[in-house]
Structure 1
Amino acid sequence: MRKMNLKGLLSPFTPDRNTRGDIGVGLAITGFAMVGIFIISLVSGLIEVESIGFDLKTFAFYTGLTWFAAGYEELIYRIILLSVLIKFLKRPWLAVVLTSVVFGWMHATNDHATLLSVISNGLGGVMYGIAFVGTRKIWLPWALHFAWNYVQATILGFPLSGFEVDGILNLNLLDNTWLSGGLYGPEGGIVGITFRFVVIGLIILWIKKSRGSIYQMINQSTSSQNLA
């Protein structure tokens, strides 16, 4: 029983034949989404690029910070909280919704947070939650989470959930409304929320392509939780 429990605990971290694909596709999906948000924001006059600069120490610091933050949040909200709720509720979709509500609410005290930004962060929880229950591994949700934050802030220079970040691009935010997210960052606006749904669709397509059926993986996720 102890061996089974230990195996169950380590299973989300154990690489398999899909790990490289999950990481690469995860980075690509949210990287693509954030570049899309940037282009639309630029073309729509929501932002303008004031300057471009690169400081190695600053870049390395924010790279490490976003890498750690994404891993830490995925450990807490998906590996621990979501797994526990799946085990007790026996309904993965309900568990994803509940953890996403908590995930969104935990960002409500961030600087410049709004009701719209809380909803958007909740949708972020849905993104990462589907990635977790659809793969039963940490790699896809971690890659998605990291690239979303990293490209958004460290490269493109957007605010990150209300925090100012010194990115490669120095942006002038021309809009501070529900459309762009303003000082909270694009994830707090309608443009960013629209791309949340694009990301969710791409995640489902990848799980279907790599695993055959997201519903089968969800059922297996529930079964594996029962055995742990």
Structure 2
Amino acid sequence: MFKNEANQVRAGWLIFLAFVAMFITQQIFALPGGVLLALVDFPFQDGSFDMDINAAFARHPWIFLLTQGGGTVGGMLATVLVWKFVNKGTLPELGFRGSLKDLWFGLFLGAASIVVIFFILLATGNVKMLNTFGSPEFTVYTLSYLLLFILVGFFEEMFFRGYVMSTMQRRGNPKWLIYVISAVIFSLVHGTNPNVSVLGLVNIALVGILFAYMFDATNSLWLPIGYHITWNYFQGNVFGFAVSGTTPYGIYNVSVENGNSLMTGGAFGLEGGLLATLLIVLGFFATRLYVKMKAE
């Protein structure tokens, strides 16, 4: 049950151990931000002791960054420690190898994908801009969420691609199973997000497979990390769409109320729409072309 035919601990147990360690460490590292929020925002909501945590964080974006960013750093640390001391692996073996050109291409591809989706939605009348291109609204969230999404991009790729896929590969699992398991776990973790939808979870699983393909095709985490960062940031903090159901704070603000939710993703954000499905699929072709060009 616990070991395979080679007397090795099965990959599933190692992934479960890493997940538990990651979760616990995240809570510990997020705790200082939570305590600070309670200190600076007490009593809550103008005298009411019924705390709306999201509203409280909205009043204190840097404390939100300290809390969420701290938890993310904790998750990264746990992933590295389990990989090093339990899996006996190194950072290059986890996926931090190869050319930084992969990172730059990933940053470009993630941003370009969201830009294409946005302009299709705008041209078809599925979104309405609430401020003009000439009147961007820069706020503290513009910087704080950039820092947060950089951390999230690193952490989620380190764990869901680097740790999960490498652990399964070391145990001799077939490639198709490695892709599917890493993507399904990635999608299920997002299942508790606000305004979650079936298509949203399907798209998150699909982009998880894309990230797995990027990792496998380049033998490096840099490409999926770059794509992940700008995919999130351009959704929420450039164009003002929800990111996997979370509240957006965009430079530009849009309304999707009169749009087709199958196209816009509705309250879950672009990841809940069919255009995201299309651009994710195109991401496979773009990655294949990029890898082929690199090899020439």
Which of 184, 199, 202 aligns to 1:119? It is 202
* Equivalent residues of 1:89, 1:95 under 8 A apart: no
Deviations 1:170-199 (A, max 9, x none): 111132622220110111111111111011
Q: CA deviation at 1:75?
A: 1.1
2:235 is aligned to: 152
How far, CA to CA, are the matches of 2:222 and 2:93 in structure 1? 11
| Among candidates 141, 161, 165, match of residue 58 of structure 1 | 141
Please show how residues 184-199 of structure 1 align to structure 2 within 5 Å: 184-199=268-283
**Match of residue 39, structure 1, among 91, 94, 119:** 119
For residue 97 of structure 1, report the CA deviation from its aligned partner: 1.5
1:74-95 per-position Cα deviation (integer Å, ceiling 9, x unaligned): 1110111111112224322320
Asked if 1:110 corresponds to 2:193, the answer is: yes
The Cα RMSD (Å) is: 2.0
TM score, norm. by length of structure 2: 0.65
**Conservation of the 8 A alpha-carbon contact between 1:157 and 1:169:** yes
Q: Separation in 2 of the partners of 1:122 and 1:30?
A: 16
Following the alignment from structure 2 to structure 1, what is the Cα–Cα distance between the partners of residues 116 and 286?
A: 14
Q: Distance in 2 between matches of 1:162 and 1:176?
A: 17
Q: Aligned residue for 2:45? A: none
Higher relative contact order, chain-length normalized (CA < 8 Å, sep 6+): 1
Q: What is the alpha-carbon distance in structure 2 between the residues aligned to residue 171 and residue 103 of structure 1?
A: 28
| 1:57-136 correspondence to structure 2 within 5 Å | 57-136=140-219
Q: Percent identity?
A: 26
* Rg comparison, structure with higher value: 2
Match of 2:244 among 155, 161, 165: 161
Is 1:139 aligned to 2:218, yes or no? no
Unaligned runs of 5+ in 1: 213-228
TM-score normalised by the chain length of structure 1: 0.84
Secondary structure of the residue aligned to 2:142 is helix
Name the CA shift for 1:8/1:135 in 2 (closer, same or farther; >3 Å): farther
The answer for the alignment partner of 1:204 in structure 2 is: 288
Instruction: Provide the aligned length of Structure 1 versus Structure 2.
Output: 207
Q: Gaps spanning 5+ residues in structure 2: where?
A: 1-83
Letter of the aligned partner of 2:169 in structure 1?
A: I
Q: Does the aligned pair in 1 maintain the 2:94–2:158 contact within 8 Å? A: no
C-alpha displacement of 1:41: 0.7
Partner Cα distance (2:162, 2:295) in 1: 20
Which one of the candidate residues 91, 100, 104 is aligned to 1:24? 104
